[in-house]
Every structure is written in C-alpha cells, then in structure tokens.
Chain A
C-alpha cells in the first residue's frame, strides 16, 4: 500500500541537506508552510538556497529561518516590505545573496523546471536591469529574454487537504506558488490541515495530483488515519 503520509513534522523534513535548494510556498504569510519551516529550523540544515516570492515577514516562518542564519541565498521577487526587517539587516550586512526575479518570471521558471523545459523566452524584464547580460531574441517582432528553469531539491508547501497518494487541494489565495513548486522539486513535502481517506477528494477538483508530492503531513491536530 502506498502511503505518502508521515506522522511527524520531524519525519517530514528529514534528509534536507546542507546546501539544498528549497522552494517555500506562500505569498507573504498566505500559504506559507510555517510549521514545516519551524521543523526545518529545528532540523538544522544550513547554507540553503531558498525560493519564495518574498523574503520573510516579521520574525516567524521564513523570517525565522533567515534569522537563524540558515540561508545563503534567496531567489525572490519582492524582498522589501514593511515587515522584512530580518532580511533587510542581513542584506545590508552582506550576509545573504539576493537573486531578484520578476514575479511572473519566477513562476514561469519554476513551471519550466516542472515541465522539463530547457529554458524559456519571456518578454518580462526586457530592456531592464534584471535582464542585463542575458541572451535576448526577437520573435515575431517582440523582444524576449532567455531565462533558465529553477529546480529545487525540496519544496515545502501548504495545502488544505491531502490523501495518502499525495493528492492536494488548497484554500483560497493560499494556493499561490504551491501547485507549481510541487512540480519543480525532487521531493515535495506538503503540510495539510487534514488528511482524508483516499477517494474523498473529488478527482474533478484535485489541484495537485499526487505524482508531484512525496510526503504529506497533517498539522493542527486534524490528522485522520489514512485509509
């Protein structure tokens, strides 16, 4: 019997190695897998490259991971926010590397990795600082920039419900990067509010099919026994 559910957060983040590239879902704190990030901090992996839309809010979740000095580099679109003081201080001290990527290119590069593409031509960023030194091409009279896929060793994402095959559904705008990051990582780890018996998720509404998910862990005490 295939059972991708694991019974603890510790088990969920096992094997994340020093120097790993880790995608973390979320847009600000919506969809951020805070419990998995806390488990990663406890697990101790360092020199991580993190892929996220932002660079942490306040002192929790991703910001706490940064504060614990586990992150060598962050790939994101919007680090500077009213409450990104942890990142700001590390960046100003030269203690974290930043690769700034326009948000749509971030999404497209993640999708390219998940879809097995070698690269993409994107119109976003053409002629700007963020395309400096990059190959460009004119296609049908429009200008494009060559961008490469972003692969990850691990993706940590948050979903609403999952089953033992790894099928996932999400909640509202917490979906954001979760489904595309799940496709681009060698090992995708999903925290869910509830693990439901196989067959309970309507196949017509499953957002992430289980093929993209390797581990599912329930948080918040709503873990049903995987049937």
Chain B
C-alpha cells in the first residue's frame, strides 16, 4: 500500500481548506500544511502569538526576531496582515472565530477526545501552550498524525491513555493511511490510501470503523 509521507499528509489536509478560511496550524507536523495551501486561494493563517495573515519563512538574512510564529520560527506578514495582543489572539481562538485548526496528536478516541499535550510519564515536564484553547475553540478541529506509533500501536483508540487536551473536540483525522470523520455514529472512513482495503484498515484499528466515502471534491 502507498502510505503517505508527512509532506503528502500535509498536502492532503491543505486541499480541504477553502478560500477565505481563518486557520491556525499547530506546532510540528501541521506547520507543513502551509507549504501546500493552493496559491489561488486567499487563506488567513493565524498564529497564537499575535499574527493574522502570516506569510512564509523569510529569505535568509531577512529574519526578524520579533516576527515569529508559535513555534518561535521566523516568518513574514502578508500585505493586509495584522498584529494584536494575546487577549485578542485567544478571543479569535476560543471565541469560535477560527474556521479550522490543524493539530498533531498522540491519540484520538472514538468519540473525538484529543490527547496531544502531555505523555504523563514520570519526570516529563508538562507544557500545554495554546493546544487546549484551539481544541475547544475552532469551528473545525482537524488532527493529522501517523495511524500507528513507531512501535505499531494504533493512535485511534477507544479511550485516550494519555491525559486529554479536550473532550469530544476532534472533527476529522488525517492519518498516513486514511481520512476519518468523528461523527455521532462513530468513526467514519472517508478515504483510504491506494492499495489498502477497508478490512485491512479495520484490522489495525482497535475501534469500530464505518466506510462512507465522500464524493470527490471538485
């Protein structure tokens, strides 16, 4: 089967972000989505540290330490972009003004609980940042993650074993094997990679899946 690379996953998520969306991309893997947003769409990227209309990384030598993203990497601001303080920034996030956020995850449960901030391991230093605000606040919460951990355990689970970030907050999951919606009727598979059968996907996924492909996007 053709397991997606991390860049292909980012490209797949980017296809589902429509023109005019206000979007927050989480730290790590989701940041890659920005590289694949179709150039013919105007999409507003939000960064929790006070940017709307965030642009690409600057040319080498053009970095400004006071123009960074949530991952503290240098970025640029598009024409029409704006700066604001943390109160306004989190009003955008928590107040339901963002259309989409894309987050990484350790685990997602069958009912859409998200675990992505803390392993809970002894000695681990917890850090949460804006993850819990995005989880409860964005209109649509997308998760992108590998389907299986490096040791082969499925990251889609009946109940999260890690401390949760939010309860019932995830709307859609993009893995390297499938696109899966969290619905009141359970997890519904919308797409699978080439060469993977539904039975094979179900076999490695310890929660019940349904198959209901969406019509191909225009």
Interface residues of chain A, those whose CB is within 8 Å of chain B, are 27-31, 53, 77-81, 88, 91-92, 100-108, 110-111, 122-130, 170-180, 207
Contact check, A80 vs B125: say whether CB atoms are below 8 A apart: yes
B216 proximal to A (CB < 8 A): no
In the assembly, what is the distance between CA of A206 and CA of B163, in Å? 42
Indicate if B146 sits at the interface (CB-CB under 8 A): no
A177–B130 CB distance below 8 A: no
Beyond the given A91-B125, A92-B123, A124-B94, please list 17 additional residue pairs across the A-B interface where CB-CB is below 8 A: A27-B49, A77-B128, A80-B126, A104-B93, A105-B132, A108-B90, A124-B132, A126-B167, A127-B164, A128-B132, A170-B83, A172-B83, A176-B86, A177-B85, A178-B85, A180-B87, A207-B85
Shortest Cβ distance from A142 into B: residue? B136
Report the Cα distance A32→B35, complex, angstroms. 30
Q: Which residues of B contact A111 (CB under 8 A)?
A: 87
User: A51 CA to B129 CA in the complex, in Å?
Assistant: 14
Do the beta carbons of A173 and B132 come within 8 Å of each other? no
Interface of B: prevailing SS: loop
Contact of A103 among B68, B83, B130 (CB under 8 A): B130
A31 to B65, CA, bound (A): 9
A80 CB to closest chain B CB (Å) equals 4
CB distance from A3 to the nearest CB of B (A): 26
Contact B85 A124, beta carbon cutoff 8 Å: no
CB proximity of B123 to chain A, nearest CB, Å = 7
Q: Which of B66, B85, B127 contacts A179 (CB 8 A)?
A: B85
Contact residues in B for A129 (Cβ distance below 8 Å) = 118, 163
Name the B residues within 8 Å of A27 (CB-CB): 49-50, 68, 72
CB distance from A126 to the nearest CB of B (A): 7
Contact partner, A100, options B64, B66, B127, B166, Cβ 8 Å? B127
